[in-house]
Structure 1
Amino acid sequence: MALRKRKTVIEPFALEHTNIVTGDEDGRTLDDMTIVIDENGRISQVMPSKQIGVPQGYHRIDASGKFVAPGLINLHVHLFSDGRPIDPKQATPKGQALLSKLVRTPAGRAYIRTKAMSGIDALLNSGVTTIRTVGDVGYTVVGLRDKIAAGKMLGPRVFSSGPMLAAPGGHGAPLVALECDDEAAARTNVEANIDHGVNAIKIAATGGITDSQVPGEAGSPQMDVESMRTICDAAHACGILVAAHAQSPEGVRNALTAGVDTIEHGSALDDELLDLFRENPNSLNGYSSLIPTLSAGLSINAFPREVTGITEVQYENSKPVSEGMLAGARQAHMNGIRVGVGTDTGMTFVTQYATWRELYLLSHYAGFTAAQAFHAATQVNAEILGIEQETGSIEVGKAADLLVLDADPALDLRTLTAPKLVVAAGRPVWRPKVKRYDDIDTMLDERL
């Protein structure tokens, strides 16, 4: 279903005789239940089917034998790419500078908008009903977010960061990041993002793999603690969470000390870092969370360079970073740290439609059960974003963000690859469908 074809009026309906996936950590389900969605897109009733009376005039859908689950939440999304291998020539300083100029032309802006719309559509049709972008080209996604919220487009709930904030020449600059020379520039840039209407902020605390040019650059600290603190203070004053790209223990420590709310990717964790996650006095809510993005880290290491197209430097940089990400995910989970789900969509071999694969990787490599992974992608992610009263579970009064599935995802995560129906804030996506890259999917299925 294309974004531009949505209906702006919600038609109330009921899903009858279904099994409800609660999204709880223990994988609990409720049998033979009926869910009623009102004209405001809210869940108005959740009761055993034999006890409920569906209001007259509501469309009634027999969901016997199906499982209705909360919609997925993806906390680490980029909408400027689709998951095909990124050309390493475009990731050089010269390449990024050229692309930065091109995407700011009328044709370039139209291209970026088309890519963003395509990504949003793929995410929604694959069962993702809330996303957070963490590094955009300009502010196109902010505009799309507002159209979705106003009922003019069909899409998931969107938290958009706009451009990242990076050190001079840092990760993502200048294509998807504003460069901060010092604390004053950091303050100016974060205020510019907020003035453009963002409802998320992203810092590049360390170097990254995809645009690294020298050995050791990925994970190397880039932005100083003082500048990051300035950004966090300004964002928190507006109630906005701050994410930080951080891929080394030192980078994670610096970002947490500055007060970031989520660490993206992460690293191996020691007792001091675990304590900082648990109690972070400079964060918005007094704690910080980890978003491991194993989809990006493990995928780029699973294949030879001839397949992924990355450079020798990027490949060598990816090894310790990916090992650290996996170690950090395991340690955080074992020690009760909030671990959320984000995939790093748009990166090499991380398609927009494969949020389910992050759950699979968490359950196969990081010590999660399938139920715990699904819990992380729904209830935990909603708590991290501060929207647990709005979404993340199937309860009366919450937005109807729902998936209709053939099986219980707590027992079979692959059922998430083919939702039969997606409902976003009460608006159904009938017969959801995505354009798949069979070659990428097959290779990942065989290797991971």
Structure 2
Amino acid sequence: MGIMVVGRKEREPFALEHARVATGNEDGEVWQDTTVVVGSDGRIEQIAPSAQAYVPAGYHRIDASGKVVAPGLINAHTHLFADGKPLKAGGQTSPRQEQMALALIHGPVGQAYAAARARASVKTLLNSGVTTIRSLGDAGYEAVHLREKIDADEMVGPRILASGPMLSIPGGHGAPYIALTSTNPQEARVNARINLEHGANALKVAATGGVTDAKELGVAGTPQMDEASMEAVCEEAHEMGVIVAAHAQSAAGVLAALKAGVDTIEHGAPLSEEMIDLFLHNPKALRGYSGLNSTLSAGLPLVKISQEELGISDVVRANSELVADGMVQGAKDGREAGISEGMGTDTAMTFVTQYNTWRELDLMVRYAGFTPAQAFHAATQVNAKNLGLDDVTGSIALGKDADLLVLDGDPAVDVHFLADPKLVIARGWPVWRPKVKHFADIDRLLDTF
């Protein structure tokens, strides 16, 4: 895996010279023979035609001739607790088994494992070209702790928005292993405060049931947290300037979450005119609108690959079939309606590896009608805007953090170039020779549909 500098006091300033620059604009604009200069603070301090650029003495000069420099990817829906191999879920557990599992997960051994697993996941995401993540549901606050280390330059990693455990209902999606539960708006508000007090800078609610942890057919998409409770969470978060995501896999769930004021819908469903209007103009959302992350990577493999090869239960397979088509249709509806559609993969779920973020863009192109330029735009500039980070990342601009990729070709023409970045730069810290461990069997099956 690529070299990651740890504990350095100061970044080395550098210049990427003679590059083509893929801007991430929706039209796929490219700047020819351009030099990008990055200062010791990790920010972009100059962008100019190479013939006119001034590179100060002492800056590391990198010849990027024949390469494309692009904004780093933003993955708006990740989890850090697994690597994407099939999850054993969808079965019944006894109360005793559940209590034993909870004691293990939240005990010293489980916490140590979660921290190590999270660190490995973050490292893989970075080496695959993801320079910003939003983690939306983990066992504890391991993503918060990693964010603090990265922000303090104790380790190199992606910028992190960390939700901590998701907010659900008893027996609901994510509960009890990666969720805090509530039965009314007051309890939901308290749980939101608990996460915020632990340092969460994002929150997530479960508006409906999910696929992976459903124990019965029909759970996926069934409304769970009520609108009033979700609104209480949004009020607490928005008061702190924190955005809220909602897991929602049915029309009823999406509509209730939008009415409550959530800032992004995760997964989605076919969109009605009422939903579209709320996406475009949501008075209760933090910034007056709501975004969508369709996470096709989490839905399509579960219905396109044989159940035997996936290693999933009958319940998981059946629930997947209930919601997957709706996620694809929602992605199409969102694109056609001009809503702010970003990109997230739902990493850690079955067959959603930490290194395959580029595949989500490929699915957006092949299944939802995006052009490669539109998909790359969603994964950079749109995600930055939706997450409230567009003043620091998402594009290559003066004063913004140097979150950059060096690629063999233009991802706005062919997103496959994102599968193998030659250099990854996160806030001015370079990751030389980035490498990830591939799961050949999973990649082979993902290539079949």
Task: State TM-score, norm by structure 2.
Answer: 0.97
Which residue identity does 1:115 align to in structure 2?
R
| Residues 1:165 and 2:167 aligned together | yes
Pick aligned residue for 2:361 from 351, 359, 362: 359
Residues 293 and 184 of structure 1, relative CA distance in 2, 3 Å threshold = same
Runs of 5+ unmatched residues, structure 2 = none
**Aligned residues of 1:293 and 1:341 also touching (Cα < 8 A):** yes
Residues 93 and 157 of structure 1, relative CA distance in 2, 3 Å threshold = farther
Spell out the pairing of 1:19-168 with structure 2 (5 A cutoff): 19-88=20-89, 92=93, 97-168=99-170
| Residues 1:204 and 2:193 aligned together | no
Offset at 1:8?
3.8
Q: How far, CA to CA, are the matches of 1:8 and 1:120 in structure 2?
A: 21
| CA-to-aligned-CA distance 1:121-155 (integer Å, 9 cap, x gap) | 00000000000000011111101101101110110
Aligned CA RMSD, in angstroms, stands at 1.3
**Aligned residues of 1:92 and 1:211 also touching (Cα < 8 A):** no
SS in 2 for 1:173: coil
Offset at 1:114?
0.7
Q: How far, CA to CA, are the matches of 1:278 and 1:35 in structure 2?
A: 35
Residues 291 and 154 of structure 1, relative CA distance in 2, 3 Å threshold = same
Which residue identity does 1:165 align to in structure 2?
L
Counterpart of 1:389?
A: 391
Which residue identity does 1:75 align to in structure 2?
A
Residues 6 and 412 of structure 1, relative CA distance in 2, 3 Å threshold = farther
| Residues 1:269 and 2:271 aligned together | yes
SS in 2 for 1:446: coil
SS in 1 for 2:106: coil
Offset at 1:93?
6.9
Which residue identity does 1:51 align to in structure 2?
Q
SS in 1 for 2:448: helix
Counterpart of 1:441?
A: 443
Offset at 1:159?
0.1
Greater Cα shift, 60-69 or 94-103: 94-103
| Residues 1:428 and 2:430 aligned together | yes
Spell out the pairing of 1:231-310 with structure 2 (5 A cutoff): 231-310=233-312
Offset at 1:320?
2.2
Offset at 1:92?
4.8
| Residues 1:402 and 2:401 aligned together | no
Q: How many residues are matched?
A: 447
Offset at 1:165?
0.4
Which residue identity does 1:367 align to in structure 2?
G
Q: How far, CA to CA, are the matches of 1:64 and 1:426 in structure 2?
A: 20
Q: How far, CA to CA, are the matches of 1:175 and 1:314 in structure 2?
A: 18
Residues 171 and 184 of structure 1, relative CA distance in 2, 3 Å threshold = same
SS in 2 for 1:186: helix
| CA-to-aligned-CA distance 1:410-436 (integer Å, 9 cap, x gap) | 112111111000000000000000011
| CA-to-aligned-CA distance 1:140-178 (integer Å, 9 cap, x gap) | 110110110111011000000000000111100010000
**Aligned residues of 1:2 and 1:121 also touching (Cα < 8 A):** no
Offset at 1:366?
0.2
Q: How far, CA to CA, are the matches of 1:97 and 1:250 in structure 2?
A: 32
**Aligned residues of 2:216 and 2:315 also touching (Cα < 8 A):** yes
Pick aligned residue for 1:372 from 374, 378, 389: 374
Q: How far, CA to CA, are the matches of 2:65 and 2:244 in structure 1?
A: 42
Residues 172 and 3 of structure 1, relative CA distance in 2, 3 Å threshold = farther
Q: How far, CA to CA, are the matches of 2:270 and 2:94 in structure 1?
A: 29
**Aligned residues of 1:126 and 1:417 also touching (Cα < 8 A):** yes
**Aligned residues of 2:255 and 2:275 also touching (Cα < 8 A):** yes
Greater Cα shift, 178-187 or 330-339: 178-187
Which residue identity does 1:78 align to in structure 2?
H
| Residues 1:186 and 2:195 aligned together | no
Q: How far, CA to CA, are the matches of 1:2 and 1:139 in structure 2?
A: 26
| Residues 1:222 and 2:201 aligned together | no
Q: How far, CA to CA, are the matches of 2:89 and 2:161 in structure 1?
A: 29
Offset at 1:310?
1.7
| CA-to-aligned-CA distance 1:32-68 (integer Å, 9 cap, x gap) | 0000000100000000000011001101010000000
Residues 100 and 364 of structure 1, relative CA distance in 2, 3 Å threshold = same
Residues 277 and 97 of structure 1, relative CA distance in 2, 3 Å threshold = farther
Which residue identity does 2:169 align to in structure 1?
A
Offset at 1:243?
0.2
SS in 1 for 2:300: helix
Task: State TM-score, norm by structure 1.
Answer: 0.98
Residues 441 and 255 of structure 1, relative CA distance in 2, 3 Å threshold = same
**Aligned residues of 1:84 and 1:351 also touching (Cα < 8 A):** yes
**Aligned residues of 2:122 and 2:157 also touching (Cα < 8 A):** yes
Residues 112 and 330 of structure 1, relative CA distance in 2, 3 Å threshold = same
Greater Cα shift, 295-304 or 336-345: 295-304
SS in 1 for 2:214: coil
Which residue identity does 1:71 align to in structure 2?
G
SS in 2 for 1:341: coil
| CA-to-aligned-CA distance 1:235-257 (integer Å, 9 cap, x gap) | 00000000000000000011011
SS in 2 for 1:347: coil
Counterpart of 1:350?
A: 352
SS in 1 for 2:17: strand
